[in-house]
Structure 1
Amino acid sequence: MMRLGFATRRRGLVSAVAAMLLGAALLTQVGPGPAGASTLPTGFRDNIVLSGLTNPTVLQFAPDGRIFVGQKNGVIKVFQSLTDTNPVTVADLRTQVNDYWDRGLLGFAIPPNFPANPFVYVLYAYEAPIGGTAPTWNDACPTPPGPTTDGCLVSARLSRLQISGNVMTGSEQVLINDWCQQYPSHSVGTLLFGRDGYLYASAGDGASFNNVDYGQYGATYAGDKANPCGDPPGAVGTALSPPGAQGGALRSQSVRRPTGPATLDGAILRLDPATGAGVPGNPFFSSTDPNARRIVSYGVRNPFRMTQRPGTDELWVGDVGWGAWEEINRLVAPTTATNFGWPCYEGTSPQSGYQGAGLTSCQSLYSTPGSVVAPYYAYNHNACVVNYTGCRTGGSSITGIAFYQSGSYPAQYNGALFFADHSRNEIWAMLPGTNGLPDPARLQSFVGVDAAGGAAGHPVDLKIGPGGDLFYVDMENGSVHRITFTAANQAPNAAFTANPASGAVPLTVNFDGSSSSDPEGRPLTYSWDLNGDGTFGDATGTTTSYTYSSSGVYHPALRVTDDQGASDTTSVTVTAGNTAPTVVIDSPGASLTWKVGDPIPFSGHATDVQDGTLPASSLSWSAYMNHCITPTDCHAHLLQTMNGVASGSFTAPDHAYPSWIELRLTASDSSGLTSTTSLRLNPRTVVLTFKTTPGGLNLTNLVVNEAPRSTPFSVTVIVGSANSVSAPSPQPFNKSTYLFTSWSDGGPQSHTITAPAVNTTYTATYRKR
């Protein structure tokens, strides 16, 4: 999240990491059923209604009742209804889509008069630079240039697809191919149709999520080409420097550039759905620059999800933050240019990393009060959005936003704004105030963390669907959830485990239904169908066992009933007469440690009682970066998959510390049974110490979401990682003013340090004015 990165963290001396973690492992659901791992207000229930998807990222309900789901890999599925368990593939854009880290197919829109207007619209990372031909990178990024070192350049596409029945007909019509993206996050975001009939699109800055990035990176890209997007004031191949640099994250401010064209990065667009051109009424429509004519709002970092407030033209944008703040931004009118300030601002304050870099583009905003619109609401990474036992802090990424109108929910939710966080696995409701607008003083937890740590899956999209209910897409678990309400007695949630779930006959399986629950805490009775023949009553009680004497695939089920007669049923699959494979990672060993850019070779094998040694085609490898809030509180995001091979290699990426790589090997036997084993690989770290002469002056860093820190201080980083540092100048100290003169490593006032292999001290020298 995507390394849908949907989570943010800090890196070295500057805030870090990708906005969404979208790309962790998928767990295919057996079938629709209750989620059962979250807490909701009384009367609400969270149910899985669509499942078996692969990294779903976006959901749309068509006017004719069909449900379209876009997958990150570029495959679009259509369900005929919420009870359809056999979706049809509408289109397969995998060749064109760059499915890597946070990149992929992320936006999807349907015209309000579909299917009379027989088009659907897609927004995705394109597998080639602007003007190139896909596939360029094959959903990977070699080193060099390295995905988070200098980045593999791609672009993005807004296209429309003509639909006949349930499938695409004809060829893809590309409306826009733009959005230069150097790094594998802050990619494209949402597509939606406004009530004015125009198409709205959002996209991030495509810049580094590890460091302050103003266009200085890319030295090893495609033959030593720094600044590969060609941002002003230099051409491709010229590394930019303060104060005049306009590249990197400053692409979000490109419409303000004194020279050079506007880019679509870090902006909200309002478009003609037939042509992709800007439309009359847009604030820069009189410009000769076609990109400027498209832009209605800018200065956003990763506006992954946005929605329109019902009955208005307002856009409400969830902008994924960097080291400190997640934002909800309100664009009141698309006819007025609105600058939300990124990267010069984060939350309501100047972003200290970019402020410390002394960039003219930011300084002009700081010196012009009112030039930037503050967030409507922002929440800090170190604070709970709503305080309750178990509420989460730390890594954060706002990844869903939707307005509730009316339906079965209690009237207090009419006009409420729901918003979700993929990293925290929570959904909140901002109830309306007396003026009808969502009121930040009326926040409440909607889908929260339960006592066992369960939560709202990994939401990456919120939509209002049939019955006015809230739906959300759980990317990692490959499912779509529906949250329903009834004032009557709530049905319980049936859940159980089967151990073992496969093996030679006779196979004795132990069943445990103790994880079943009732929303109101009512007592439950248990009834089991152990042989899978559809007849319950084979056993009662919380636990039981059963011996399968004949080979076959069975579907034992559990029905739980509360004391008012409401019940719920769920089942699992047991395979008798077949055992799952035994999987072994032969190399590397667990003692291996890595630094940024290291090739990590791997090899493994699998054997099966029935099939013998399994061929390489039965093996699937995945490498995950476990991104940690603390050394023990981590979440995984996918780096790379390698299918059908017994050996290979991948490259250790640049990443914030604490973090570690997990290598997983999965094997499938001829009957489809799978087993997975994993290996933890820790990084090599180094301590960087920062001082000033005289001592006690401040240096800019965002290691712990702070403003400039008083020296001396030390930070632990991964060997080989890139770390930004700035020496603010001038700065007052002990009733005097000090001016920066030099760094001990010879770097400029703001520069990037590649972490050496040994502990090192860096000293900034100042002189008294």
Structure 2
Amino acid sequence: MLTTFTSTTTAGAAVPAGFTDTAVISGLSAPTNAVFAPDGRVFVSEKSGLVKTFDSITDTTATVTADLRTQTQDFWDRGLLGLTLDPAYPTRPYLYVLYTYDAVPGGTAPRWGDQCPTPPGATEDGCVVTGRLSRLTLDTFGVATGAEQVLVTDWCQQYPSHSVGTVAFGPDGNLYVGGGDGASFNFADWGQRGNPCADPPSPAGVNLAPPDARGGALRSQSPRRPAGEPVTLDGTITRVHPDTGATQIVAYGQRNQFRFAFRPGTSEIWSGDVGWNTWEEINRITNVSDATVENFGWPCYEGSARQSGYDGANLTMCESLYTAGGQTAPYYAYNHAASVATGDGCPTGGSSIAGIAFETSSNYPAAYDGALFFADSSRGCIWAMQRGSNGLPNPATIVPFVTGVNAPVQVLTGPGGDLYYVALGAGQLRRVSYPAGTNLPPTAVATANPTSGNAPLTVQFTGSGSTDPEGGALTYAWDLDGDGAYDDSTAANPSYTYLTQASVTARLRVTDPGGLSGTASVVITVGNPPSDSPVVTIDNPTAATQWSVGQTIPFAGRAADAQDGTLPASALSWQLTLQHCTSSTNCHAHNVQSWNGISSGSFVAPDHEYPSFLDLTLRATDSDGNTTSQTVRLNPRTVNLTFTSSPSGARLVVGTAEQVTPFTRTVIVGSNNSVSAPSPQRLTLGLGFRFRSWSDGGAQTHNITAPATATTYRANFQLCLC
């Protein structure tokens, strides 16, 4: 799944020698995309549904281009996730947005808001939504006017990940749009939990079952459904006419192709497809202009191998693909347990490929000419797959390019041909430049007098000591109020008066004529705020709390400081985060839900594979803007499920993996787990055995809800002439 949208890494990152990595736009709230216009403007989308415009990469004050928050569901991995500008802009003044539409199929927004109540439960029956591609018309100021023109509404999504992703123009002047399967990330999903997307062969509300089920993740194979059945856009990359919205699928069989890009000068799409628990893929569509519609195999395949959870269910849609062939193998795939490049320093385990771009027209060293850059938001890294002798990216020559990034969710080229990337967790658009031998970045120097005193405190700042190696004239931008935006002064030596007690980090950004920047900061202490910072207390739940899936957990907390006394509920905010771990020290985060302006409430514990845990954070802000937070870690209740067979040694599939009995899995109490008994099998003395029954009375392929106590499940087989 696309992990995300938080990270434990820092905003600063490491780049190869000779390169610089600088923030060009900061202070964003969960940014997802950036688009550069020919006139220098920068359009940025935020996950909530806002689109902002900056006059240039040095502009520090945004204009709101469009507010789509009402119709956008910003929940887990859903939100405003795709953005592109008409290539003929401003002659054709159109901006295209791709977002999670907060409505059930055929319905209107808003249906759920930025949440999913229980029932139906985000990871249980799911809050069903769709995806939407719309065209916005911009005025001369870059602000949307009139109503959005809806081009496509599709992409039925039952579960809170694998939503929509990229919208981009191809060389033929058409839009190309991607969307995930909208299926469960916890169990092999073929539509057995209510079938709300009305996938065949049954109507909505009727659970589907193997072998004929064609729902859930199998929506990614919908172009292979029998004639007359609906073909959806889930798991596809689709050509869309930019004026009429007419669609044509060019590739399918992908799980969550969150980001893709055209290789410059070609009709090739290179797509990053987020895997389940084993493989991340880069898929190549060799020519979107020909009649070939490529099938990359999901969910029947993950990487180049059969996906055990779906293979074991003997689903007709997969079995026919295995027999007939036709899966297009990944151009490149990396295993979650392995490093992408030896010694890259990037964590292994959790993985989510989340950025694709090609080098073009940069001044980077020749080794990067035509390179494919790809990012992983979970690992916090960007790599370069350098070009081989055949002109294509060569998987044998992958080198780390940017490491330690705070959740990269888009990479793109921009002014100067440099690589830019959107760091969602840091709230920034960042630029990677190669100034060696050409323009070097300036050095910012910021001083202040005085740096402390009681309010009101007037401070004289000096930035004129900043220098540029080439002697170019510098421009100045100051963040004097500490809000993260460099919009308070453009003078070299401004003054500023602080009226309230606070500790403020004032920042200076200087920019040279070539567009390179340097920053410096100085801390101003007004009064004595540290002693007055809020003291935050989470009264409930405590760290001793253990949860099971579906359990309602109440929470309550408070904060106070010496100046304000007990803070009101309006000063409090809460964040619930699920930490998905691959080991005791390697976890990545998914923001689940947030609450503002309350001192108490409750949430329902979500379903997720183990190991994982929940973080509940309470943040308080006092009247001077001082902020303190407290986090309590909430571990799940777990249970051991043992799987045996009669006779012993049979292959059984639980969730994503196949094992030979007997074996034991640790899962979270109340979690939903898919199990399958492949049949027939060669067991005792190499004889053939066919599945007969499960000890719990379930079908050959079924789901089990993990009980509170250790339980054994036995698959029974009988001898057969098979």
Q: Deviations over 1:483-525 (max 9, x none)?
A: 01122497799999xxxx9999999xxxxxxxxxxxxxxxxxx
Decide whether the 8 Å contact of 2:574 with 2:617 is kept in 1.
Answer: yes
Work out which structure has the larger RCO, using CA pairs closer than 8 Å and 6 or more positions apart in sequence.
Answer: 1
SS at match of 1:695: coil
Q: Does 1:353 align with 2:312?
A: no
Matches within 5 A, 1:591-610: 591-610=544-563
Change (3 A) 1:572 1:295: farther
Q: Deviations over 1:746-769 (max 9, x none)?
A: 111111110000011111011122
Decide whether the 8 Å contact of 1:686 with 1:755 is kept in 2.
Answer: yes
* Equivalent position amino acid for 1:376 in 2: Y
TM-score normalized by structure 1?
Answer: 0.83
Q: Please give the alpha-carbon distance, in whole angstroms, between the structure 2 residues aligned to 1:112 and 1:729.
A: 54
Q: Does 1:390 align with 2:345?
A: yes
Q: Does 1:325 align with 2:279?
A: yes
Q: Deviations over 1:98-130 (max 9, x none)?
A: 000000000011011111111100000011112
Change (3 A) 1:329 1:274: same
Q: Please give the alpha-carbon distance, in whole angstroms, between the structure 2 residues aligned to 1:641 and 1:756.
A: 29
Give the structure 1 partner of residue 578 of structure 2. Answer: 625
Match of 2:259 among 297, 305, 315: 305
Change (3 A) 1:674 1:440: same
Change (3 A) 1:573 1:234: farther
Matches within 5 A, 1:138-177: 138-164=113-139, 165-177=141-153
Match of 1:457 among 402, 406, 412: 406
SS at match of 1:172: strand
Q: Deviations over 1:126-176 (max 9, x none)?
A: 111122121111111111111011111001111011111221111111111
Matches within 5 A, 1:43-192: 43-164=18-139, 165-192=141-168
Shift of 1:408: 1.3
Q: Does 1:471 align with 2:447?
A: no
Q: Which region of structure 1 is more displaced relative to structure 2, 385-394 or 161-170?
A: 385-394
* Equivalent position amino acid for 1:308 in 2: F
Decide whether the 8 Å contact of 1:63 with 1:113 is kept in 2.
Answer: no
Q: Please give the alpha-carbon distance, in whole angstroms, between the structure 2 residues aligned to 1:552 and 1:211.
A: 50
Give the structure 1 partner of residue 631 of structure 2. Answer: 678
Q: CA RMSD in A?
A: 2.8
Give the structure 1 partner of residue 702 of structure 2. Answer: 751
SS at match of 1:171: strand
Q: Please give the alpha-carbon distance, in whole angstroms, between the structure 1 residues aligned to 2:619 and 2:378.
A: 25
Q: Please give the alpha-carbon distance, in whole angstroms, between the structure 2 residues aligned to 1:767 and 1:675.
A: 63
Q: Please give the alpha-carbon distance, in whole angstroms, between the structure 2 residues aligned to 1:20 and 1:685.
A: 23
Matches within 5 A, 1:35-50: 36=12, 38-50=13-25
Shift of 1:671: 2.5
Q: Please give the alpha-carbon distance, in whole angstroms, between the structure 2 residues aligned to 1:612 and 1:233.
A: 62
5+ residue gaps, structure 1, are 1-17, 28-34, 218-225, 279-293, 449-454, 508-529, 537-547, 560-565
* Equivalent position amino acid for 2:202 in 1: G
Shift of 1:85: 0.9
Q: Deviations over 1:225-247 (max 9, x none)?
A: x2111000000121111111100
Q: Please give the alpha-carbon distance, in whole angstroms, between the structure 1 residues aligned to 2:7 and 2:56.
A: 28
Decide whether the 8 Å contact of 1:26 with 1:478 is kept in 2.
Answer: no
Change (3 A) 1:555 1:248: closer
Decide whether the 8 Å contact of 1:587 with 1:602 is kept in 2.
Answer: yes
Change (3 A) 1:81 1:376: same
Give the structure 2 partner of residue 230 of structure 1. Answer: 198
Q: Deviations over 1:507-547 (max 9, x none)?
A: 9xxxxxxxxxxxxxxxxxxxxxx9x99999xxxxxxxxxxx
Change (3 A) 1:417 1:502: farther
Shift of 1:655: 0.8
Decide whether the 8 Å contact of 1:459 with 1:475 is kept in 2.
Answer: yes
* Equivalent position amino acid for 2:159 in 1: Y
Decide whether the 8 Å contact of 1:326 with 1:380 is kept in 2.
Answer: yes
Give the structure 1 partner of residue 399 of structure 2. Answer: 444
Give the structure 1 partner of residue 386 of structure 2. Answer: 431
Change (3 A) 1:568 1:260: closer
Q: Does 1:422 align with 2:391?
A: no
Shift of 1:710: 1.2
Give the structure 2 partner of residue 273 of structure 1. Answer: 242
Q: Please give the alpha-carbon distance, in whole angstroms, between the structure 2 residues aligned to 1:503 and 1:588.
A: 40
Q: Please give the alpha-carbon distance, in whole angstroms, between the structure 2 residues aligned to 1:127 and 1:105.
A: 11
* Equivalent position amino acid for 2:249 in 1: I
Q: Does 1:765 align with 2:719?
A: no
Change (3 A) 1:592 1:343: same
Give the structure 1 partner of residue 673 of structure 2. Answer: 723
Decide whether the 8 Å contact of 2:180 with 2:255 is kept in 1.
Answer: yes
SS at match of 1:254: helix
5+ residue gaps, structure 2, are 458-479, 483-488, 510-515
Change (3 A) 1:492 1:709: farther
Shift of 1:554: 5.1
Shift of 1:87: 0.8
Q: Please give the alpha-carbon distance, in whole angstroms, between the structure 1 residues aligned to 2:203 and 2:453.
A: 63
Change (3 A) 1:726 1:555: closer
Decide whether the 8 Å contact of 1:23 with 1:102 is kept in 2.
Answer: no
Q: Does 1:378 align with 2:333?
A: yes
SS at match of 1:235: coil
Q: Please give the alpha-carbon distance, in whole angstroms, between the structure 1 residues aligned to 2:587 and 2:453.
A: 33
Shift of 1:39: 2.7
Q: Does 1:652 align with 2:608?
A: no
Give the structure 2 partner of residue 709 of structure 1. Answer: 659
Q: Deviations over 1:606-654 (max 9, x none)?
A: 1122222221111111101111111232222111011111111111000
Q: Please give the alpha-carbon distance, in whole angstroms, between the structure 2 residues aligned to 1:296 and 1:41.
A: 37
* Equivalent position amino acid for 2:230 in 1: P
Decide whether the 8 Å contact of 2:21 with 2:433 is kept in 1.
Answer: yes
Give the structure 1 partner of residue 476 of structure 2. Answer: none
Q: Please give the alpha-carbon distance, in whole angstroms, between the structure 1 residues aligned to 2:300 and 2:161.
A: 19
Q: Does 1:343 align with 2:299?
A: yes
Matches within 5 A, 1:523-672: 555=505, 569-577=519-527, 578=529, 579-672=532-625
Change (3 A) 1:203 1:568: closer
Q: Deviations over 1:185-236 (max 9, x none)?
A: 000010001111001100000011111011111xxxxxxxx21110000001
Decide whether the 8 Å contact of 2:9 with 2:406 is kept in 1.
Answer: no
* Equivalent position amino acid for 2:234 in 1: D
Give the structure 1 partner of residue 461 of structure 2. Answer: none
SS at match of 2:245: coil
Decide whether the 8 Å contact of 2:502 with 2:624 is kept in 1.
Answer: no
Decide whether the 8 Å contact of 2:251 with 2:285 is kept in 1.
Answer: yes
Q: Deviations over 1:368-394 (max 9, x none)?
A: 13x111011111111101010633210
Q: Does 1:411 align with 2:366?
A: yes
Q: Which region of structure 1 is more displaced relative to structure 2, 481-490 or 132-141?
A: 481-490
Q: Please give the alpha-carbon distance, in whole angstroms, between the structure 2 residues aligned to 1:468 and 1:227.
A: 47
Q: Please give the alpha-carbon distance, in whole angstroms, between the structure 1 residues aligned to 2:412 and 2:348.
A: 25
Change (3 A) 1:358 1:89: same
SS at match of 1:372: coil
Match of 2:190 among 201, 211, 214: 214
Q: Please give the alpha-carbon distance, in whole angstroms, between the structure 2 residues aligned to 1:477 and 1:604.
A: 27
- Which 4+ residue blocks in structure 1 deviate beyond 3 angstroms? 23-27, 488-496, 501-507, 532-536, 550-559, 566-569, 572-575
Give the structure 2 partner of residue 316 of structure 1. Answer: 270
SS at match of 1:253: helix
Aligned-pair identity in percent equals 56
Q: Please give the alpha-carbon distance, in whole angstroms, between the structure 2 residues aligned to 1:91 and 1:352.
A: 44
Shift of 1:21: 1.4
